[in-house]
Amino acid sequence: MRIQNKQIKYLCIIIFVANISSIILGVLHYFIGLNIIIGNIFSILIVISWFLNVGLIIFDEYKVDKSSILGKKINLLGYGFLFVHIIAILLLVGGLFLLNANWFSPLLQYSLILTGFISFFTYGAIFTYFNYKSLDSREVWKFE
Amino acid sequence: MILGFLCIIVLAGGSFWAFMLFFGGRVLKGITIVIEEFVAQSSVLMLGLCIAVTLLLMKLLASRRVKHPKQYYVLIIIGFSISGLNAASLLATPYTIINANEEFNDAFGINWENSIPPNIQNCFLPTPYFFSSHFLSIPERQISVETDVLFYTGENITLYFDVYRPIGPPSELPGNGSIIINLHPGAWMSGGKGTWNMISTSKYLAGQGYVVFDIEYGLIDWFEYGAAAPDTPEYVMGNFTIEDQIRHVGIFTNRCESEFAATYGGNLDSVYFMGRSAGAHLAGVAGLGYNYDFHNTTFSPNMKVKGIIPLYPPSAAPDALLKENRTMNPDLYNAYDLAHLADIQDPPALIFQGTSDGQVWIERVEKLEADLESKGVDCCLLKFPFAGHANDFVLSSNIGQVWIYYLERFLYLTQ
């Protein structure tokens, strides 16, 4: 089956919405507490968003022509996404472990956690948006 | 080149993490018994890290995909396999929940969930595990914390406690002001209240209406086991034995009865002893030995012990840490042996144990559970596959959430 430009556009929109929804629900998590319906939807959403983001990175790896200027930019943004991914995980590990430290301010503990969480999905949304915008540039993509 | 090398190092770390998940510190011993404390509760994040570096390697080695496809794909498969192995603890969560339900069914009957009213259920975690909370933590309720309250001076030491309690009337919360006396880990010779005794759990329980006393006891300065916890206070160190440590716990119970319960709104008719590692052994001695002749003058007689919560508990005191060894004085040894102390009048126990624990082995804890049950003590052993020692540190991990879910229900059912 040939992948078409239109299908990727729809996919990018879904990934973008998933990322933004994850950020919104991440912030709401602290305000509305744990609710079984929202909690389960949020949990599924996080997994889907993460897989879609990772899927987009792999897709770009195979389908972007890195010899073009825009292709190079997308490739660099892909590297950036993976760096942000790694830093976000380190922030989350730090924040979650430090929640037990009586010598560390609670504000900083939660800042680490939220920064880690939000930065991942924010960068994911930006990365997706950039992919979406460049889909019309024929020299970038190998699927048409 | 450097980046690729760093990726390989991270993947090597991921392999080590996976090895520790499956075998704990029992195989390699040494420093690995300390490292295992961090492994299972961070393995989901290690999974994410390994996938990220594998993807990074995919990008870095893109040119090899055409020139050396075998090398390229083998490396990628190895990366994803290491990532997958780190998912073991997460994937075992349903098993943990099934096992915990069976333990509760045995202890409280198959309808135990229905005996918790809906208004109380609303205060509890709604489900044993939310993936979203794993990363964002469990939201905290407003509570009051008071630290470094003096309760004992003597024998060249001073002992303090921290108290965590609800804001507002505890009668409106599941805990109803029940007292939890929380004893820290540290191999009887190190550690302390606060950070090493899982502050986030104490805060969570205070938010549920419990008055949690996180107390110090005298530490044995002549004993060495592994590495001492970094911020062990000097003012609690002395020429002690485990008898002295239990005596210090007893002093706290007496002061709690005469003063602290009233000051902090604690309910003396519902008291729990909770502890981790060495603290779990002490909690077991206090909770099971409360009605044992040997200890009958140690603890306050006006407290009603409703349950014990030992996490990764040694079942008996090491011989060397008592004033006389087992051969010289078997009665003394028995007075600190949890299985020996147990009798049918003792309160129920909820035990936390990781199957990859290299310090307190799962087989010994399973034997302890069987011994307690044979003596008529209702006992729920919550087994966490791939978890090592002290793996309840991160409250929101897949291990921490399941633990809290059943802990809060156990506390309510046994009040």
Note whether A96 contacts B132, CB cutoff 8 Å: no
User: What residues in B contact A34, CB-CB < 8 Å?
Assistant: 125-126, 130, 133, 138-139
% of chain B beyond a pLDDT of 90: 86
Q: What is the mean pLDDT of chain B?
A: 94
> Å from A79 to nearest chain B CA?
7
Task: Provide the number of CB pairs (under 8 Å) joining chain A to chain B.
Answer: 103
The CA-to-CA distance between both ends of chain B, in Å, stands at 61
Mutant choice from A89, A91, A110 vs B, greatest count of B C-beta within 10 A:
A89
- Residue B159, CA atoms < 13 Å, CB-side half-sphere: 25
Cβ atoms within 10 Å of B128's Cβ, excluding its own: 18
- pLDDT tens string B324-355: 988 899 999 999 999 999 999 999 999 999 99
pLDDT, position B23: 92
Note whether B131 contacts A35, CB cutoff 8 Å: no
Mutant choice from B35, B135, B143, B193 vs A, greatest count of A C-beta within 10 A:
B135
User: What residues in B contact A103, CB-CB < 8 Å?
Assistant: 195
Q: Which of B45, B62, B198 is opposite residue A92, by nearest beta carbon?
A: B45
Using alpha carbons, select from B390, B383, B368, B380 the residue that is nearest to residue B411.
Answer: B380
What CA–CA distances, in Å, run from B265 to B171, B175, B238, B257, B411?
10, 12, 32, 11, 18
**DSSP symbol at A75:** H
From chain A, which residues contact B within 8 Å (Cβ)?
Answer: 25-26, 29-30, 33-36, 39-40, 42-44, 46-47, 50, 54, 57-58, 61, 66, 75, 78-79, 82, 85-86, 89, 92-93, 95-97, 99-103, 110, 113-114, 116-117
Q: Which of A46, A66, A102 is opposite residue B199, by nearest beta carbon?
A: A102
Note whether B130 contacts A39, CB cutoff 8 Å: yes
Length of chain A: 144
% of chain B beyond a pLDDT of 70: 99
Three-state secondary structure readout of chain B? CHHHHHHHHHHHHHHHHHHHHHHCCCCCCCCHHHHHHHHHHHHHHHHHHHHHHHHHHHHHCCCHHHHCHHHHHHHHHHHHHHHHHCCHHHHCHHHHHHHHHHHHHHHHCCCHHHHCCHHHHCCCCCCCCCHHHHHHCCCCCCEEEEEEEEEEEECCEEEEEEEEEECCCHHHCCCCCEEEEEECCCCCCCCCCHHHHCHHHHHHHHHCCCEEEEECCCEECCCCCCCCCCCCCHHHEECCCHHHHHHHHHHHHHHHHHHHHHHHCCEEEEEEEEEECHHHHHHHHHHHHCCCHHHCCCCCCCCCEEEEEEECCCCECCHHHCCCCCCCCHHHHHCCEHHHHCCCCCCCEEEEEECCCCCCCHHHHHHHHHHHHHCCCCEEEEEECCCCCCCCCCCCCHHHHHHHHHHHHHHHHHC
Distance CA B268, CA B256 (A): 9
Note whether B136 contacts A29, CB cutoff 8 Å: yes
Positive or negative CA dihedral for B291, B185, B190, B193? Answer: negative
Q: Which of B55, B133, B199 is opposite residue A34, by nearest beta carbon?
A: B133
> Å from A141 to nearest chain B CA?
16
**DSSP symbol at A68:** S
pLDDT, position A100: 86
For chain A, how long is the longest CA-to-CA vector?
A: 58
pLDDT, position A3: 67
Using 50, 70 and 90 to split pLDDT, how confident is the model at B379?
very high
Torsion of CA B20, B21, B24, B25, to 10 degrees: 30
- The reply to whether B395 touches chain A by the CB within 8 Å rule is yes
Mean pLDDT value of segment B80-95: 97
- The reply to whether B149 touches chain A by the CB within 8 Å rule is no
Q: Is B92 exposed, middle or buried (0-12, 13-18, 19+ CB in 10 A)?
A: buried
Note whether B132 contacts A39, CB cutoff 8 Å: yes
pLDDT, position B274: 98
pLDDT, position B226: 67
Note whether B136 contacts A43, CB cutoff 8 Å: no
Q: What is the helix, strand, coil percentage profile of chain A, to 5?
A: 80, 0, 20
Using alpha carbons, select from B152, B144, B151, B153 the residue that is nearest to residue B177.
Answer: B144
> Å from B183 to nearest chain A CA?
15
pLDDT, position B56: 94
Q: Which residues of chain A have pLDDT under 70?
A: 1-3, 143-144
- pLDDT of B223 strictly over 80: no
pLDDT, position B229: 74
Positive or negative CA dihedral for A13, A18, A19, A20? Answer: positive
The CA-to-CA distance between both ends of chain A, in Å, stands at 12
Helix and strand totals (H; E) in chain A? 4, 0
Note whether A82 contacts B135, CB cutoff 8 Å: no
- pLDDT of B320 strictly over 90: no
- pLDDT tens string B116-144: 999 999 999 999 999 999 999 998 889 99
- The reply to whether B198 touches chain A by the CB within 8 Å rule is yes
Q: Domains in chain B, start-ordered, CATH in brackets?
A: 2-91 (no CATH), 93-414 (3.40.50.1820)
- pLDDT tens string B90-123: 999 999 999 999 999 999 999 999 999 999 999 9
pLDDT, position B88: 96
Note whether B132 contacts A97, CB cutoff 8 Å: no
Using alpha carbons, select from B321, B88, B144 the residue that is nearest to residue B225.
Answer: B321
Note whether A58 contacts B55, CB cutoff 8 Å: yes
Mutant choice from A83, A99, A104, A123 vs B, greatest count of B C-beta within 10 A:
A99
- pLDDT of B26 strictly over 60: yes
Q: Residue A88 corresponds to which tokens in the numbers above?
A: 């976000």
> Å from A108 to nearest chain B CA?
14
Q: How large is the ipTM? A: 0.91
pLDDT, position A2: 64
Distance CA B123, CA A34 (A): 10
- pLDDT of B6 strictly over 80: yes
Mutant choice from A45, A63, A75, A93 vs B, greatest count of B C-beta within 10 A:
A93
pLDDT, position A106: 83
